[in-house]
Structures are given as structure tokens and as C-alpha cells.
Structure 1
Amino acid sequence: MMGSRATGAVFSRAARMRQKLQCALEASALDIEDVSYQHAGHAAVKDNANETHFNIKIVSPKFEGQSLVKRHRMVYDLLSDELNSGLHAISIVAKTPKELRSPS
């Protein structure tokens, strides 16, 4: 049998991002929303490209003790392949499980 059938081309960008973030950050909550439609006609969006803009809300124990900048860097680093292949922008909300339980 030749290789795995689960190649990156088979899954949507959102599914690939979900898998990468869930596995690496052991997320207890992960919401990925495709908001590409809000950016149709945007100068940086070529032709009718889709899956270019996402909102990501993630809760991970791996964010414990990390600054907001470091948390965002962790997400960006995990999604570097996507950012290099058509993902234009992501909005990130990154919290720890403790932060969810604490009033803000």
C-alpha cells in the first residue's frame, strides 16, 4: 500500500489547522471560524481565494506562564505551513484553562 491517504490536500485548511493546534497544544477548547467571506475583494486576496482569514479561539494548558505574545507566536509557528500557502490572516484569542474560570 502506498503511503497515507490523509494528505494535506484532502482536508480543508480549517481541518488541518485544527489537527495541528489540537495535537501540539492539547487544547481543551478550540474554535476555528472561517471569515474569509468578509475579505472578498481585499487587495491581498487573489482571485476568489477562500480559506484565507480565520478567527481562532483556543484554550490550552501549554499557555500557562506564557505572555500573550508568546502564546500567539506558538500558534503562528504551528500554522507556518498554512501561512506560507495562502492563509492570509488569523485573529487569535489564547487562554489558559485557569483564565476561563477566573472573572476578567
Structure 2
Amino acid sequence: MRVKPFIEQQLNTELTPEYLEVVDESYMHSGPDDGQSHFKVTVVSSAFEGQRLIARHRQVNTLLADALAGPVHALAMHTYTPAEWQQRNQVSVDSPACRGGSQAG
């Protein structure tokens, strides 16, 4: 499975986002650069209206369950409604540096 296209397809199909960014950050962690193990997702969707952050993350986790059960070790999620995204001035969030963990690679 090519993980990034799978993530993009699932979120585009189910959430119809106004903005979607999927970044493979595997190169920032131990293991091979193309390990497809660490991703950051920024998604802006009206589907999140009225939902608390935990509900949004659960929804994304459900949509990406196949990837999360396989190659994906970590998924950073930044989920916004269109109004929240406007308030942020449409700025994506940087991921923190890897704090350990190792993979056989």
C-alpha cells in the first residue's frame, strides 16, 4: 500500500476538505526515509463543524484504520473547520522533532 495516496484519497472522499495537506515525515525518524511510517495531516473541512477535537481525531482515525493497522506508526493530526482555519491565517503546524524510538531498518 502506498500510504500517502491512500490517506489523501480517504480524506478527500469522506471529508471533502477545503484544504488538505499530507506530509510523509518518515525521513525525520529512525528507519528508512521511505518507511511510510510517520505522517502529518492538516485537514480543513466543514464536516468538523460542531465537533470537539477528540471527535474529529476519532473520525480521521476511523477513515485511516487500514493504514494505522499496518505501516503507519505515528499520525499527527491538525483538524480545523473553515472558520478556525481562517483565524489561524491558514498556517500549517510544524511537527516536533522525533524524541526517540527506533525501528529496525
Match of 2:16 among 11, 16, 26: 26
- Decide which structure has the larger Cα Rg and report it: 1
Give the root-mean-square deviation of aligned CA atoms: 1.6
Query: 2:5 is matched with which residue?
Result: 15
Query: 1:68 is matched with which residue?
Result: 53
Q: Deviations over 1:6-58 (max 9, x none)?
A: xxx4xx210111000111011110000111011114xxxxxx47000001100
Give aligned pairs, total: 88
Unaligned 5+ segments in structure 2 are 90-105
% same residue: 35
Matched residues in 1 for 2:42 and 2:84: separation?
13
Match of 2:29 among 39, 45, 49: 39
Matched residues in 2 for 1:27 and 1:103: separation?
16
Matched residues in 1 for 2:22 and 2:39: separation?
7
Which runs of at least 4 in structure 1 moved beyond 3 Å after TM superposition? none
Normalised by the length of structure 1, the TM-score is 0.78
Query: 1:52 is matched with which residue?
Result: 37
Matched residues in 1 for 2:40 and 2:47: separation?
20
SS in 1 for 2:61: helix
Matched residues in 1 for 2:59 and 2:79: separation?
10
Tell me the CA shift for residue 98 of structure 1.
1.3
Tell me the CA shift for residue 67 of structure 1.
0.2
Matched residues in 2 for 1:34 and 1:69: separation?
23
Matched residues in 1 for 2:58 and 2:36: separation?
21
Query: 1:84 is matched with which residue?
Result: 69
